Amino acid sequence: MSSQLLAGKRGVIFGALDNQSIAWQVAEVCAEQGAKFTLTNAPVALRFGSLDELGEKLGAEVIPADATSIEDLEALFTKSEEILGGKLDFVLHAIGMSLNVRKGKEYTDLKHEWMLKTFDISAISFHKMCQVLYKGDHMADWGSILGLTYIAAQRTFPDYSEMAESKALLESFARSFGYHFGEKNHVRVNTISQSPTMTTAGKGVKGFDEFFGYADTMSPLGNAPGRACGEYCASLFSDFTRYVTMQNLYHDGGFSQMGMNPKLVK
């Protein structure tokens, strides 16, 4: 039975593509917990994903928006308020893309114009999103903004390429906007550092299958699945976490605190 943890909450969820997406799992959990929200992704992603299917299933309107476009973001949040009937209580940013990774470029031989595109899509879009929310006064008092990140922002994972720098930038934006939103109307801004997860994007990283197994063995609790991440996000959208802000929160089965697991050398 659902606890209706998010009853009466309104939100926007960025980045769901298919049923392997973490954002998809977040949307399903939030709906089960009583939230109402809109779903969004870039128009090009909507053409090869199945977001309309999720929207129909959950009764959530899908609004195409390029997260790197201020104009698209302004239209998205204005329309979402109209559809949902008020200001937003929560927003999830689950966006990341690297052409260098997709094309198999080595870190020491990256195309820098592609790197700048990576930063714009994967990190600067978070700042743009927060800026539009802030200037447009779209967030309700004591609301919650989350961005999905990865431990490569703090540790070296060579095959993660310049996405590591993107995540570090994303986390810095969250801390900085956490101050400004907190002072304005008690909105908290956090990032969640999730375990390796079998998403469409994750599986595109070189050596992902091997690393997924390594992380699962290293972590005392094993890798946190996407559904569990959805539940964690719901808790951070709820009123029970009103005083958690400007944090990078590890949701990784303990991986981030391990030095060595004896199981790996047996």
> Of residues 150, 179, 243, 250, which has the active-site annotation?
150
Please report the DSSP string for the chain in residue order. Answer: ----TTTT-EEEEE---STTSHHHHHHHHHHHTT-EEEEE--HHHHHHS-HHHHHHHHT--B----TT-HHHHHHHHHHHHHHHTS-EEEEEE-----HHHHTT--GGG--HHHHHHHHIIIIIHHHHHHHHHHHTT-EEEEEEEEEEE-GGGTS--GGGTTHHHHHHHHHHHHHHHHHHHHHHH--EEEEEEEPP---TTGGGSTTHHHHHHHHHHHSTT-PPPHHHHHHHHHHHHSGGGTT--S-EEEESTTGGG-S--GGGT-
Q: Is 150 a catalytic residue?
A: yes
Sorted by sequence, the CB contacts under 8 Å of residue 176 that are 6+ apart come out as: none
Q: Is 160 a catalytic residue?
A: yes
> Of residues 107, 134, 160, 179, which has the active-site annotation?
160
- β-sheet with 36-40: strand ranges across: 36-40, 10-14, 88-93, 139-149, 188-194, 248-251
CA distance 151 to 137: 31
* Residues forming the active site: 150, 160
